[in-house]
Structure 1
Amino acid sequence: MKKTAIALAVCTAGFSPFLYAQDTASTEVITVIGEPLTLTNNAPVSASTNTEADYGDQLAALPGVTISRNGPVTGLIQYRGLYGDRVGVTIDGVDIAVAGPNAMDSPLSHVLPEPGLQAVLYRGIVPVSAGVETLGGKLDIRADAQHLFAQANGLQFNASAGAFSPGDAQQYQANAFYGTDNGFFSGAFTHQQRDEREAASNDAGSNITIPNSQYQRNGGKLRAGYSWGKHSLDVSYQTLNTNNSGTAALAMDITSIDAAWYRLGYQYQADDERMLKVSVFGNSNQHAMDNFSQRAVSMASTARQNDADSVAQGIEASYITPALNGELEVGFSHLHSRNSSVITNPNNSAFYINNFSDITRDTYSGFTEWHRKTDTADYLLGLRYTQIDMDADAIDSNMVMMNDAVATLASNFNTAERSETYNMLDAAATIQIPVSETVTVFTGISQKNRAPNYYERYTWLPLGITGGMADGFNYIGNLELDNETARQIEFGVTYSKNDWTVSPRLYYQDIEDYITGTPSSNAAAVMFSTMMGSDTPFQWTNTDAVIKGLDVTINGKLSDNLLLTSTASLSHGNRDDIDDGLFRIAPEQLTTRIEWQSELMQSPLMLSVTSHLVGAQNHTSALQNESSTSGYGLIHLGARWQLTQAFSVSVQLQNALDKYYTAHTAGVNRVSDADIAVGDKLPGTGREWQISASYRF
């Protein structure tokens, strides 16, 4: 009752005109729309043009977005220098509680394409209504229910098959949709598999196999909707099963991920200005990983298997109504998640580490948001209060009886106060002012928060658990962590004239109590890590950081049938407590795509060429032994031929010049006996071709 009362108090406070609030109506929302809809920003989330299994290659075309990749199905979205849990990612409105403590089953890996799929990126300052803990941005990947309700009656079917080489990759996708006057039913299925990929030839002229770059997974989704009068219901269920898939940048590979999620949505449209939305959702993930089935181990005693699982259930509701000559939205949400993990050795039945034991995280949050648009300005104001309760059960290990350091660490953890409550207040305010017919000025300010996640607080034994950061150090948790608080300012201009739009944005973000690793002074942790042959372990610690930069989008027509889109991004991240760069921050990059629309044999033909230029990254983390990387440039070619209204063929040639390169956001190799030495950066893929065919009716 106390939590609910506080949240409702925040919502009620929204009726004051002096509150900070924000609404998506005045926030730049970049939407990437997949087949069969029209493409926006030339970066479709489409099963017929993807080159990565998790579609991260298509999202990387968005301004400020980079993919930090630890494996072919383990991509972490980095936005303006922040990644991992700092970037909010939802799939059809569902908050995915990943099971793997190293984000092998990252939210991006749960995407399964279906008709009407959209990736919605909130550029810059995120409205408070978009979600909780959006300190590093928000990406919502969804197929909007209202779009599905609006489809024509009858059966629609879409299927595609694709092949990639080298690597003997195959991908199959099928979607079926049946619409009626009052509802719809749809189903989607996907299968993906690939052998190991190859980098471009090295200086010696020989091919380089990228270790553990294979993957295999299958997924299916069912969805149905029904509307009557002012009411509508929308229900979804998805399952995605990943089998043997490599993660060369991590200490283990994926042996299986069995993931399922569901969602029930209800909407009441009272009139054109008043609407109520309620959503109930949940997901469950069982995740097994090991270091011996897909890579060699030096001794049987070093074999490890980690069985992790996560469960989440949530509910959220919002109501929109006119207020103060504008539109007011109030909402409330609750999310409960639980994580557990046990490490074993299949060659020694007595060995076990009870790694995480029934860790719970309950998030209660309420927000209010107000929007008003006039001829002279567009205002966005918002406020959100969030309370997060965390706790964990006691842990254990067979090593407690034989290792004093482990016994000390276990005892200290089990006798400590493990429960904690975080209270956080988010605020956001933006304004857009049209200063002329062609120029609009944007400015905004926000305060956003993020509480520690479960591994940052509850890793009791020094292990290589970093949420996918993969810097090679062992880490131990910290029960004394405070929540992060980021204060951001942003300024931008949008110029539009004669089919051209140019939109630069400058931003500055100061993050108080930024959570990162520092060398641990815990004697027992240092002793254990040293005994295991590792360096001094790191401990998650509150520090301070600053991230600043800019991104620019350019869209226009070179001629009636020649289109250009370009995005440029630059982020600079630094710790404030010491003179050191933030780890694994993407360097400056410029992506330019030219698309030519023509005809071949009286059928529409689209040809494209994409230039991807990446600068060197010399601003690195010396504390984490991060190495610099050189800049590089890539050329990608593509074609799409719509032979008939129902049948089309797509062809792509990635890295057409077969350039050898290493992305700074890539991990380092941890697989021995490979073409790439342990500790060296994993290179990007060399020249690859893809061909796919799609049929729909």
Structure 2
Amino acid sequence: MRECLRPRVMPALLVAVAVAFSAGTAYAGEDRAADARGEEKGSRSATASAEQKPSHRERIVVTATIPDLPAVTEVGRAELWGKEIERGLAHALRDQPGLDAFQRGPINLDPTVRGLREGQIATIVDGTRTFAAGPARMDSELSHVDPHTIDRVTIAKGPFALAWGAGALAAVRVERHRPEFASGEAKWGGRAGFSAGNDGRGIDATVAVDWSSRNQRASLAFDQRQGDDYHDGAGRLVQGDYRSQNASWQYGFRAGEHWTIDYLGSYQEQHDIDYPGRLLNAVYFFTRLNSIDVVRRFDGDLWRRASIRIYASRKDHLMTNDGKPTAEPDPGRMPPFPLAVSLPTSSDTTGFSFRLDAARGSWSAGFGADGYRLEQSARRQIRRRDTGMQMFDDPVWPDVQIDHAGLYATVTRSAQRWSLTGTIRGDHERVSTGELSSFFTEHVSTLRAPSRSALSAALGAAYRLGPGLRLEAGIGRAVRMPSALERFSDRFPSTAFQIAAEFVGDPGLAPEIAHEADLGLSGTTRRFGFRVDVFWRRIEDMITVAIDPSLSPRLPSSPPQVYRYVNGRGGRFWGGELELETELSDTLRLQASASVVRGRDLTFDEPAFGVPPATGSVQLHWQPSGESLWFEMGIRGALRQRRVATARLELPTPGYSVVALRAGGRVAGAWRWQADIDNLFDRVYATHLTALDPFSKQRVPAPGRTLRISLARTF
């Protein structure tokens, strides 16, 4: 395998920036920056609490609940830095309570939120709707964002982010960096960083430059990430090659006193990615994103702000079986000759969004519309590697075109001790395809996907019980339309199944309808903070799979049973999260968190598929000398997962606990360093949502003991 640049082994520790709890507080500077960028200031009325004591370290972000969105978590750049961000945003977020990620390769993890996954989670990047590049989920909607350009990530853990986009049973919103307009003379700024580690941790180098004046602003950023194979705790080699390069840019200007116009663009290449948890590897991803934002601010007593955004995203992807066992001859396999599998895909999105904000007295409101056209194409081509004879050429995404449009309105009433917000949303979707295979047309009764309309609604409330104590509640309903693969799969593997069986879609599938209730309590004092959240969710017409004995598999190496996507009887999910933080002294801080999710698939009367076990973490942070030096020890782990979907051949997972040692600090003011040793005792383990190797049928293990050091400078 390709060897990555390997630095000398260095003892090291990883920064875990703590979650700070407050009674609906938010970092005031974040609001000022959001207002300068033209973000949705009207939806962020929380301000910094006088009760909140400054932390030992600079905290750019805290956990906060936006008044109109219950069950929301925010994560900022300071907290992301150092959390293996070189492996992508989903990897950095997976330690947040209530979040996890499916892992099929070294990067491009697929996030989950309280047991929701894939299309059930709406992903919005700078207001643009994004989708995965391929049907095999070798990437996710979050995969193609340069993690070093991110200012803030907001996660709505329930169906309350209806103004963000359609189908949001849960939602993730990413805001990339834009410099603020200068208040005086033009100014330059930027940042540079480098990290390196042993045993698969690879290298990560980034540089960014900002410039702004009173009426103009611009930024340019580059990033290079690279990793290689690693060893698990038992010393076994695991495939883990990847290369990723990113470039992003932004230019904005003020057109008069009330207008702001911004153009944002990005380009990413990823090459030679190993996927030990898939039948194929990824040869490349190419991603292009361009958007234009126009904001108009008003000085009147009622109308406050109007914004419109147009965008286009293009994604190309190629999968092959190069380097897999099927590329080699095997007399004991059917077929015994070597295969050459090629699966090129494209996923292109063009869309818009519009919003108008108003406020008067204690009332505020937002009215908006958004829409997109998603075009997805993929073909599976199989030939004999020894003779070149073509065996199959099948459509996987048969030139699917999805046109989606939605309207919404949200109204908030705020008082001194409480706030109440209601949101309603209507959506309409049309779907068309290119040529379908003869097998699909013969074995599927409904060949055209009907047009669908849907209504979603949510209500959120917050009440201040007393100084530093806040109660929140929310109920919501959200509707998710079926994906292209669920509608038109032609004997293609499913990510909602434990083995590489074959699945057939149904264009007539009904949408999933989720109903959810959330309750949260948060409190803060001078030295102690906590937050506890509980939820209950019911999904009607939940899309699942069922064996169809009338269907035969396409590939001789596939299991004999072929499955259909069907609307099942539904599912129930419940659980919650607990977060605690206390300052034991002026230099010592303790943090702890725990989360649990339970799910039941009512179709099979068994646990829902892909639900993580109960997880928890504890960190002890010691900072003896201000910003210049700190130390931390952390333990994270999970209980054994015995609640598995046996009908989908899901396997249980042993519990585990992993210890990490961390250290960091500042040098000469602008320089910041940190180091980590992860999996200190070289444990052999795998998270429950890590895929099985389709050939060995064993779960792909996590890395053993790894060492990493990072250095960054702002200027």
Fold in common (TM above 0.5): yes
Match of 2:427 among 372, 376, 386: 386
Match of 1:342 among 365, 368, 379: 379
The residue identity in structure 2 corresponding to 1:287 is H
Partner in structure 1 of residue 713 of structure 2: 695
Q: Deviations over 1:531-561 (max 9, x none)?
A: 5442312211111100111111223322223
Matched, 1:192 2:225: yes
Count of equivalent residues: 636
Mapped partners of 1:194, 1:616: distance in 2: 30
Matched, 1:562 2:588: yes
Q: Secondary structure at the match of 1:482?
A: coil
Partner in structure 1 of residue 119 of structure 2: 85
Matched, 1:129 2:166: no
| TM-score, L = length of structure 2 | 0.85
Match of 2:537 among 499, 509, 516: 509
Give the drift of 1:408: 3.9
Matched, 1:218 2:248: no
Mapped partners of 2:162, 2:420: distance in 1: 14
Q: Secondary structure at the match of 1:130?
A: coil
Mapped partners of 2:361, 2:201: distance in 1: 60
Q: Gaps spanning 5+ residues in structure 2: where?
A: 1-64, 330-336
Match of 1:540 among 547, 565, 583: 565
Matched, 1:430 2:460: yes
The residue identity in structure 2 corresponding to 1:433 is Y
Give the drift of 1:178: 1.0
Match of 1:33 among 76, 83, 96: 76
Mapped partners of 1:538, 1:64: distance in 2: 31
Alignment of 1:297-696 (within 5 A): 297-299=327-329, 300-322=337-359, 325-345=362-382, 347=385, 348=388, 350-351=390-391, 352-396=393-437, 407-412=438-443, 416-459=446-489, 461-466=490-495, 471-521=499-549, 523=550, 525=551, 527-529=552-554, 531-543=556-568, 544-599=570-625, 604-671=628-695, 678-696=696-714
The residue identity in structure 2 corresponding to 1:82 is L
Root-mean-square deviation (CA, aligned residues, Å) is 2.3
Partner in structure 1 of residue 129 of structure 2: 95
Give the drift of 1:610: 1.8
Is the 1:492–1:506 Cα contact (8 Å) retained in structure 2? yes
Is the 2:68–2:422 Cα contact (8 Å) retained in structure 1? no
Is the 1:333–1:366 Cα contact (8 Å) retained in structure 2? yes
Give the drift of 1:153: 3.5
The residue identity in structure 1 corresponding to 2:515 is R
Partner in structure 2 of residue 3 of structure 1: none
Mapped partners of 1:131, 1:219: distance in 2: 26
Give the drift of 1:131: 2.0
Matched, 1:254 2:282: yes
Mapped partners of 1:390, 1:239: distance in 2: 28
Is the 1:23–1:381 Cα contact (8 Å) retained in structure 2? no
Is the 1:529–1:535 Cα contact (8 Å) retained in structure 2? no
Mapped partners of 1:151, 1:86: distance in 2: 45
Q: Deviations over 1:104-154 (max 9, x none)?
A: 12122112034562111224442321221111x111121264757779842
Residues 361-370 or 126-135, more deviating:
126-135
The residue identity in structure 2 corresponding to 1:458 is F
Is the 1:658–1:686 Cα contact (8 Å) retained in structure 2? yes
The residue identity in structure 1 corresponding to 2:244 is R
Give the drift of 1:162: 1.4
Give the drift of 1:495: 2.2
Q: Deviations over 1:55-103 (max 9, x none)?
A: 3332123220011111112311111011111112222222123221012
The residue identity in structure 2 corresponding to 1:462 is R
The residue identity in structure 1 corresponding to 2:164 is A
How has the CA–CA distance of structure 1 residues 594 and 88 changed in structure 2, closer, same or farther, with 3 Å as cutoff?
farther
How has the CA–CA distance of structure 1 residues 217 and 408 changed in structure 2, closer, same or farther, with 3 Å as cutoff?
closer
Q: Gaps spanning 5+ residues in structure 1: where?
A: 1-21, 202-206, 397-406, 672-677
Partner in structure 2 of residue 11 of structure 1: none
Give the drift of 1:571: 0.4
Q: Secondary structure at the match of 1:126?
A: coil
How has the CA–CA distance of structure 1 residues 325 and 645 changed in structure 2, closer, same or farther, with 3 Å as cutoff?
closer
Match of 1:279 among 305, 309, 312: 309
Q: Secondary structure at the match of 2:507?
A: coil
Mapped partners of 1:555, 1:150: distance in 2: 37
| TM-score, L = length of structure 1 | 0.87
Give the drift of 1:295: 5.4
The residue identity in structure 2 corresponding to 1:509 is R
Is the 2:91–2:109 Cα contact (8 Å) retained in structure 1? no
Q: Secondary structure at the match of 1:479?
A: coil
The residue identity in structure 1 corresponding to 2:532 is P
Match of 1:290 among 313, 320, 323: 320
Give the drift of 1:242: 0.5
Matched, 1:45 2:45: no
The residue identity in structure 1 corresponding to 2:111 is I
In the TM superposition, structure 1's runs of 4+ consecutive aligned residues that sit over 6 Å from their partners are 148-152
Give the drift of 1:428: 0.3
Give the drift of 1:226: 1.0
Q: Secondary structure at the match of 2:542?
A: strand
Q: Deviations over 1:441-478 (max 9, x none)?
A: 2221111110000000011x212143x75543221101
Is the 2:180–2:212 Cα contact (8 Å) retained in structure 1? no
How has the CA–CA distance of structure 1 residues 416 and 116 changed in structure 2, closer, same or farther, with 3 Å as cutoff?
closer
Is the 1:23–1:380 Cα contact (8 Å) retained in structure 2? no
Percent of pairs identical after alignment? 17
Q: Secondary structure at the match of 2:166?
A: coil
Give the drift of 1:422: 1.5
Q: Secondary structure at the match of 1:127?
A: coil
Mapped partners of 1:88, 1:482: distance in 2: 18
How has the CA–CA distance of structure 1 residues 670 and 329 changed in structure 2, closer, same or farther, with 3 Å as cutoff?
same
Is the 1:320–1:327 Cα contact (8 Å) retained in structure 2? yes
Is the 1:26–1:378 Cα contact (8 Å) retained in structure 2? no
How has the CA–CA distance of structure 1 residues 533 and 313 changed in structure 2, closer, same or farther, with 3 Å as cutoff?
closer
The residue identity in structure 2 corresponding to 1:409 is F
Is the 1:45–1:119 Cα contact (8 Å) retained in structure 2? no
Is the 1:342–1:354 Cα contact (8 Å) retained in structure 2? yes
Partner in structure 2 of residue 166 of structure 1: 199
Is the 1:49–1:650 Cα contact (8 Å) retained in structure 2? no
How has the CA–CA distance of structure 1 residues 251 and 150 changed in structure 2, closer, same or farther, with 3 Å as cutoff?
farther
Q: Secondary structure at the match of 1:312?
A: strand
How has the CA–CA distance of structure 1 residues 324 and 363 changed in structure 2, closer, same or farther, with 3 Å as cutoff?
farther
Q: Secondary structure at the match of 1:559?
A: coil
Give the drift of 1:638: 1.7
Match of 1:119 among 138, 150, 153: 153
The residue identity in structure 2 corresponding to 1:306 is L
Alignment of 1:41-80 (within 5 A): 44-46=79-81, 48-50=82-84, 52-80=86-114
